[in-house]
Amino acid sequence: MGGEIKQDGLKENGMITLGIESSCDDTAAAVWCSERGLLSSVVSSQDVHVSWGGVVPELASRAHHQTITDTVKHALERARITVKDLDRVAVTEGPGLMGSLLVGLSFAKGFSLSHNLPIVGVNHIDAHLYAAFIEHEPEFPFVGLIVSGGHTRLVRVDAPFVHTLLGETRDDAAGEAFDKTGKMLGLPYPAGPEMDRLAREGDPEFHAFPRSMIREGLEFSFSGLKTSLLYYLEEQKEEYVTKHRADICASVSAAITEVLSVKLERAMEQTGIRSVVMAGGVSANSMLRKRCRAMADRLQTALWIPSPEYCTDNGAMIAVAGAMMDSLERGRVQRGVGIRPYARMPR
């Protein structure tokens, strides 16, 4: 590889970025080339949390620590490159679990120092949006809907990394709503993917669960859904719930996805923007994808949704976002010391 330096500072064969993600319970690494696209993406999911019914932070940090070296090694091998071909390292700074972030950041800092590579700190929630650029080229400005396990946000994106928050959740995130209601229905953690699978076999109109705050505004609230399901389940016989589990999953999914798509449409109306990017783990949900696709077709709007493997946490979105930040000089591009982890989304 190698390559000539072009006027704009890019190598002829493309700039190559290693992306590292460790903010929650997935250790991920990927290699992105500005000319050839995604060269590899490796995600090592931690199954230690399943028996606990949720992520145990200390176990997550330990598992990251155990797997991060091999995950990065595999990403380089699958991309058929060596460390010498890399031009930069991009790593998740936050938000996320502090112990988990520290493992990825410390690894990335050590890696960048020992191989003399610039390092870019990337915001995990913003990076979800840039996952759309792995396979597509969304047009700016766009409205972004980020729906993950910890966040539900509508943002207006006027240019790369020029984001304005339009609305967010007041309590639970959409992914949390899937996981918590799924847990109440006896599904293993994380319940989102299993809720999705079961919902496809059920009737979404079987029971009308509440659609909180649907009538106005761009804010979300999903905590009432849990309470509503709790009361509903208390009233029903166990055999009835077992028999209708798929119908209940479909009805809960309908409540969550309807709120999300109605608010997304409202954000488009309010901003007048006809370009949309959907991102985050919940955007892998088949009912949400179908509903938003239908809405976009009706409104003749361009809608970009990453393939499911790039909706959930991955290193490719970190590599792409880091590469864009670096080439736009919006990132804090430096050799290590200035990059710090943060647990919460900065205001």
Residues near ligand KG4 (CB under 6 A): 24, 148-150, 175, 178-179, 190-193, 195-196, 280-282, 284-285, 312-313
Please identify, using beta-carbon distances, which residue of 233 and 345 lies nearer to ligand KG4: 345
Nearest approach, Cβ of residue 131 and Zn ion (Å): 9
Please identify, using beta-carbon distances, which residue of 174 and 273 lies nearer to Zn ion: 174
Please identify, using beta-carbon distances, which residue of 172 and 326 lies nearer to ligand KG4: 172
**Residue at token pair 């959409």:** 174
What residue 179 binds from ligand KG4, Zn ion, none (CB within 5 to 8 A, per partner kind)? ligand KG4
Ramachandran area for residue 203 (φ above 0: left; ψ -120 to 50: alpha; else beta): beta
Cβ–Cβ under 8 Å, residues 118 and 112: yes
Please identify, using beta-carbon distances, which residue of 133 and 178 lies nearer to ligand KG4: 178
d(CA 134, CA 116): 26
Nearest approach, Cβ of residue 92 and ligand KG4 (Å): 10
The pair of structure tokens assigned to 74 is 């595999």
Q: Which residues lie near Zn ion (CB under 5 A)?
A: 148, 313
Please identify, using beta-carbon distances, which residue of 16 and 229 lies nearer to ligand KG4: 229
What residue 121 binds from Zn ion, ligand KG4, none (CB within 5 to 8 A, per partner kind)? none
Query: If we measure between CA atoms, which residue out of 290, 246, 264 comes closest to residue 146?
Result: 264
CB-CB neighbours of 308 under 10 Å: 15
What residue 192 binds from Zn ion, ligand KG4, none (CB within 5 to 8 A, per partner kind)? ligand KG4
What residue 16 binds from Zn ion, ligand KG4, none (CB within 5 to 8 A, per partner kind)? none
For residue 109, the SS3 value is helix
Cβ–Cβ under 8 Å, residues 67 and 27: yes
Nearest approach, Cβ of residue 274 and ligand KG4 (Å): 26
Nearest approach, Cβ of residue 23 and ligand KG4 (Å): 7
Nearest approach, Cβ of residue 30 and Zn ion (Å): 14
Kindly give the pairing relationship between strand 37-45 and strand 142-147.
unpaired
Nearest approach, Cβ of residue 84 and Zn ion (Å): 31
What are the beta bridge partners of residue 133? Answer: none
Query: If we measure between CA atoms, which residue out of 247, 282, 333 comes closest to residue 174?
Result: 282
Please identify, using beta-carbon distances, which residue of 118 and 175 lies nearer to Zn ion: 175
Please identify, using beta-carbon distances, which residue of 65 and 124 lies nearer to Zn ion: 124
DSSP string across 190-211: S-HHHHHHHHTTS-TTSS----
What residue 312 binds from ligand KG4, Zn ion, none (CB within 5 to 8 A, per partner kind)? ligand KG4
Nearest approach, Cβ of residue 89 and ligand KG4 (Å): 20
For residue 236, the SS3 value is coil
Kindly give the pairing relationship between strand 142-147 and strand 152-159.
antiparallel
d(CA 257, CA 341): 32
d(CA 217, CA 104): 37
Q: What are phi and psi of 241, to 5 degrees?
A: -65, -45
